[in-house]
Structure formats: C-alpha cells, structure tokens
C-alpha cells in the first residue's frame, strides 16, 4: 500500500521548515516497507556544498543503514529532482520517486533544472560544458584488476 500523499506532504513540510530557517524550499523523505527511514533537507545554505540536495542527503544517510543498493525504497521530494539527484536514484536502485512541484512551477523563482535536463539530453559533444575524453591506456589494466578482485562481469 502506497501512502504517497502522506509521505509527500511530509517532504513539503520539511521544505517549508527549511525556508523558514533560511534554506531552499526542498525536502525529501526516503521510505522502505511503508516506513520512513530518512528525512532530509537541502542544506546548501549550511554547508556551501552544491551537492547537498535533500534527495542526495537522504540517499547518503539511507546507504549508511542499508548499503549502496536502495532497492525497494521510495523517495518523496518536494520538488522535481534535478538530473544529479535523479541519476543517483538510478545508480542506487531506488524503486520509485514521487515529487510535488514541477520544474514549470519552480521556473519563475529560479528553482527549475529544466535547462540542465535539456543540456543532458544533447550528445556530450554538443553540450555547453566541454567534456573531453583523453584516453588513458592504463585504465584497461585497472579495470581488469578491479574485475578480478570483485568478480564483476
């Protein structure tokens, strides 16, 4: 049973509390088996860490409890997850994401990441940020060493 509205309302309340304390309007709740494991707020204003988004902080905290895989977990976010946070959710296996405010709603307040999503949709060579591949032959041996040590395919 999904209590999406309940958990999303909690993320929205975290966002409101964060704004009242000088932060950005973002909160996240990470749930597994219909139980809240982690609540987090965007803490960029406290740490000056541009990656301190509520969703990433929730993932980091949950990973300390559950390990690097968060299969079966749901993240409730007050706003549309940015590409960085959404990528992290894919990487750690989050099962579902539910969010409150869309990028369109955030746009008038400078709180939309739609432009970043547009950049990320372009081939790497066409993006505004130069991304340069300088082949490093030693990496083949390093990858083989890692595979041998960890049994990865």
CB-based contact 72:32 (threshold 8 Å): yes
Question: What does the block give as tokens for 83?
Answer: 């590409």
Nearest-CA neighbor of 58 among 73, 79, 80, 71?
A: 73
Is 55 part of the annotated catalytic residue set?
A: yes
Q: Which of 55, 104, 126, 135 is catalytic?
A: 55
Give the gyration radius of the chain's Cα atoms: 18
Distance CA 75, CA 29 (A): 6
Q: Which residues are catalytic?
A: 55
């Amino acid at each position: 049973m999904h209590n999406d509205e309940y958990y999303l309302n909690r993320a929205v309340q975290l966002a409101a509390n964060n704004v009242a304390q000088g932060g950005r309007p973002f909160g996240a709740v990470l749930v597994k088996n219909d139980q809240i494991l982690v609540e987090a707020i965007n803490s960029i204003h406290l740490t000056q860490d541009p990656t301190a988004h509520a969703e990433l902080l929730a993932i980091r905290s949950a990973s300390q409890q559950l390990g690097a895989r968060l299969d079966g977990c749901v993240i409730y976010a007050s706003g549309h997850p940015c590409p960085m946070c959404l990528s992290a959710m894919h990487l750690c296996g989050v099962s579902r994401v539910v969010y409150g405010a869309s990028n369109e709603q955030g746009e008038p307040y400078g709180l939309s990441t739609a432009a970043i999503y547009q950049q990320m949709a372009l081939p790497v060579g066409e993006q505004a940020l130069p991304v340069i591949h300088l082949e490093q032959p030693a990496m083949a041996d390093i990858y083989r060493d890692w595979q041998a040590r960890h049994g990865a395919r």
